[in-house]
Amino acid sequence: IHVVTEALDKVSRGRTTFLVTRDLHHASRFDLILFLEDGCIVERGTHDELMKLNGRYAKLFRLQLMTENRNNKPGVKYALPT
C-alpha cells in the first residue's frame, strides 16, 4: 500500500487527479470523493464529511478496515489515514 500511496502523492501533486478505486483507503486522501453505485453518484464530500454522514461510504470504509485488520498479523493494526 505504501508504494501505491507514495506514487499517487507524487503523480497528483499540483494537479487535478481522478482516481477510480475500490480501495477506500486510497480515496480517503483526496479532497473530494464521489461515491458511485450503479453508475450514479449517491454520496459526495470529503472523507470526514462522508464518515460523519454514516452512509454507504462510511459503512464500506469500516468494512474494508475490519477486513484489513483481520488479514494482518496479530498485533498489527491498520490505522486510519490522517
pLDDT of residue 71: 65
C-alpha cell at 32: 473530494
Mean pLDDT by runs of 10 across the 82 residues of the chain is 77 85 84 94 96 96 83 50 46
Residue pair 48/63 in contact by the 8 Å Cβ criterion? no
Residue pair 44/30 in contact by the 8 Å Cβ criterion? no
pLDDT of residue 78: 46
- Of 56, 52, 62, give the one whose Cα is nearest residue 36: 56
Sign of the Cα torsion 36, 42, 17, 82 reads negative
pLDDT of residue 26: 79
